[in-house]
Structure 1
């Protein structure tokens, strides 16, 4: 029978571990002499310095090849999405529901619109965007001629929304049954909405449900167009003062004062029948006023 291995005591094990940490007889620290520890430390320092240098070189090369003003790859939709304000979302679509008799209810809608339109303040726009744009013509810019190596942007002022600007009626019609909504098309860098400058993209709203409850639809600006001078968009870095062109729509609600509305930006290069993206080229929302 093999001799059983002698069981070592706790003191002996601690003594062995202490000898492993520092062996005074052989002058070794944790199994290596101080000279070998210096060599191996220098090796790993040099190894990680080379790795860090190669990684930094790779990042620098990548950043050098990227255009800071536009992404090299755009995996987003070729056709822009469309949104509506006040942007009060329900379970499936935007639900703009308010009570004309409840000030807190319609003030909520008013505050959303005021906050959204803050960058469109007339004074602010005239200060930031001093360039005189040519209406009805694409604003193509091949150089960075604006200050601080940027490109010019055409001003869009809140007053251009007419009766829905909030100037004449600070409540935007939400204290009665004539509410205003604002339609905005999302930005796509270098996107041109049409190949023909004679066909300007415009907003068209139709009543999907509750046709008898909408007596009148008005657009501001009156032509409901998004002028071509706001296209193309060159990116946030190139055009830091750019703001989207807007179209405001005012509805006169009657009867039950509720309807399901679809507002579409009409242009040949803007699609709106994408089943997988309900906001591409159009927006659908529920509008309801109670008293």
Structure 2
């Protein structure tokens, strides 16, 4: 029979480990002589210095070629999305439902709109955006002529929303059956919604269901136009004080006071029939006034 392997004691194990750490007979530290430790340390130091240098060079090259004012790839957004406020978005549909006899109900809608319109305050806009824009003409800027190496932005003030600004009626019509909704088109850098010879983009709302329950539709500014002077948008860094042009729509609800509505931004360059993106170029929502 093969001899049983001798079992090492704890003391023997400690002695072997100590010899591994420092072998005085061969002058080795952890299996290598000091000379070899110097060589391997220099090798790894040089290796990591070279790797760090290559990594820094790659990052510098990437940052040097990037434009900080615009993303390199924008092919996924050919047409802007459209949103509606009050933004009571559900899982699948947008339902703007309120109770005219319940103050908490219609005050909720009022508060949402007041919060949304804070950046559009007349005083704030006129202080931030002092440039006199030419209405009806695209505001093309090839250089950074505004302070702090930025570009100018045209002011859009809350008062431009007329009867839906919250000034004439602080409740935005939600204490009765004439509620206002605000339509906003999302931003796309350098996007021009029309050609110079075409009509400017405008909002058009149609009743999909419950047409008999809507007696009148009004648009603010007039005709629901988004003036060309707010385009193109050059990005947050280039235009830090830019705000989206808005269109407010007021509905006069009658009868059963509920309807399914589609509001579309009409323009030759804005598509709205994308099955995979229901918010591209349009927004569909339900509007209902309870009592």
Bin the TM-score by the shorter chain.
over 0.9
Q: Secondary structure at the match of 2:252?
A: strand
Quick one: distance in 2 between partners of 1:41 and 1:283?
Answer: 65
Give the aligned partner of residue 179 of structure 1.
179
Quick one: distance in 1 between partners of 2:142 and 2:183?
Answer: 29
Give the aligned partner of residue 89 of structure 2.
89
Gaps of 5+ in 1: none
Deviation, structure 1 residue 92? 0.9
> Displaced runs of 4+ in structure 1, greater than 6 A?
none
Deviation, structure 1 residue 24? 2.5
Q: Secondary structure at the match of 1:261?
A: strand
The answer to whether the Cα contact below 8 Å between 1:109 and 1:174 also exists between their aligned partners in 2 is yes
2:143 aligned with 1:143 = yes
Deviation, structure 1 residue 207? 0.8
Give the aligned partner of residue 220 of structure 2.
220
Moved more, 20-29 or 49-58: 20-29
Q: CA 1:241–1:247 in 2, change beyond 3 Å: closer, same or farther?
A: same
2:36 aligned with 1:46 = no
Give the aligned partner of residue 18 of structure 1.
18
TM-score by length of 1: 0.97
Matches within 5 A, 1:264-283: 264-283=264-283
Give the aligned partner of residue 288 of structure 1.
288
Instruction: Give per-residue Cα distances to partners, 1:116-156, cap 9 Å, x unaligned.
Output: 11111111111111111111111111111111111111110
Quick one: distance in 1 between partners of 2:206 and 2:43?
Answer: 73
Deviation, structure 1 residue 42? 2.2
Quick one: distance in 2 between partners of 1:197 and 1:233?
Answer: 20
Deviation, structure 1 residue 108? 1.2
The answer to whether the Cα contact below 8 Å between 1:271 and 1:281 also exists between their aligned partners in 2 is yes
Deviation, structure 1 residue 28? 2.0
Quick one: distance in 2 between partners of 1:70 and 1:257?
Answer: 45
Matches within 5 A, 1:158-197: 158-197=158-197
Deviation, structure 1 residue 35? 3.0
Q: Secondary structure at the match of 2:40?
A: helix
Give the aligned partner of residue 77 of structure 2.
77
TM-score by length of 2: 0.97
Deviation, structure 1 residue 162? 0.1
2:120 aligned with 1:120 = yes
Matches within 5 A, 1:92-111: 92-111=92-111
Q: Secondary structure at the match of 1:223?
A: helix
Q: Secondary structure at the match of 2:237?
A: coil
Deviation, structure 1 residue 188? 0.5
Aligned length: 291
Give the aligned partner of residue 245 of structure 1.
245
The answer to whether the Cα contact below 8 Å between 1:203 and 1:247 also exists between their aligned partners in 2 is yes
Give the aligned partner of residue 58 of structure 1.
58
